[in-house]
Amino acid sequence: MVRVGDTDSAPLIRARALDKRYIRGTEEIHVLRGLDLDVGAGEFVAFMGPSGSGKTTLLNLLGGLDVPTAGTVNVGGSELSRMSRAQLAAWRVRHAGFVFQTYNLIPVLTTFRNVEVPLLLTHLSRAERRKHVEVALDIVGMKHRMKHYPRQLSGGEEQRVAIARAIVTDPAILLCDEPTGDLDRKSADNVLDLLGLLVSEHRTTVLMVTHDPRAAERAHVVLHLEKGALVNGDGRPVPPEVTA
């Protein structure tokens, strides 16, 4: 079992005996195998490993995008593994933000409207939504581009808008799947600077899947997965309890 962060207080994220299997035709694909993990609030964790090692599956389970075959996931006192799909959707709106390699911005919407989309699922008034959007865009340095459309932005700017959309609801955790994968080095460094800022100044917990060692260096802790299990950097299974 791996513990990341302050081990003297209750972890923000607690996964126990996490197991995920898929059925593909007549074949069973065993993606995660009895994984145990604690992550404290305000940590920046990078997950690395070969393709098919379970990195994205783990991220999806910790963010409530998917449910485990067995085991439990608890985030901030909410037991995600016991929620229905509808309950998970409602939980994600409030508590989790997602950033992907592809920015997934809506081409016909301005920067402002793209960032506002998650807030349309809340009970905030129009004025309250505007305030939230402006704060998020200010944090990522894109407030001056709020009237621009995605086609008028660079890749790095689009990813900053995607991050603003992910944090506009002030989530406890930000889950990033290859957030710099489509960016040049300078734009990637700018995005990583921004993720570090969210951790250091806003105490956001950032979980990032990456293949880029330079991106992983920005994290507080780098965890390696192989064949659905957490391993040391040399490929050996982690000891029964490891504190990072």
pTM, rounded to two decimals: 0.91
What CATH number corresponds to the domain at position 16?
3.40.50.300
What is the spatial distance between Cα 164 and Cα 10, in angstroms, rounded to a whole number? 28
Please say if the pLDDT value at position 236 is more than 90: no
Please say if the pLDDT value at position 243 is more than 60: no
With bands split at pLDDT 50, 70 and 90, how would you rate the model's confidence at 242?
Answer: low
What is the phi-psi region of residue 42: left when phi exceeds 0, alpha when psi lies from -120 to 50, beta otherwise? left
Extract long-range pairs of 84-88: CB within 8 Å, 24+ residues apart: 88/64
Who contacts 139 (Cβ-Cβ below 8 Å, separation ≥6)?
A: 164, 167, 194, 197, 198, 202
Please say if the pLDDT value at position 241 is more than 90: no
Beta strand segments in 85-178, E:
96-100, 173-177
Q: How many domains does the chain have?
A: 1
Please say if the pLDDT value at position 232 is more than 80: no
What is the spatial distance between Cα 240 and Cα 132, in angstroms, rounded to a whole number? 43
* Residues 34-58: tens digit of each pLDDT: 999 999 999 999 999 999 999 999 9
Lowest mean pLDDT among 69-73, 192-196, 216-220, 237-241: 237-241
Please say if the pLDDT value at position 141 is more than 90: yes
Portion of the chain with pLDDT greater than 70, in percent? 94
With bands split at pLDDT 50, 70 and 90, how would you rate the model's confidence at 244?
Answer: low
* Residues 202-230: tens digit of each pLDDT: 999 999 999 999 999 999 999 999 999 99
* Residues 79-126: tens digit of each pLDDT: 998 999 999 999 999 999 999 999 999 999 999 999 999 999 899 999
Read off the DSSP letter of residue 237: B
**Residue 168 sits in which domain range?**
2-243
Is 210 within 8 Å of 37 (Cβ atoms)?
A: no
- Identify which has the larger pLDDT, 231 or 153: 153
DSSP element (H, E) containing 216: helix 213-216
DSSP element (H, E) containing 48: strand 44-48
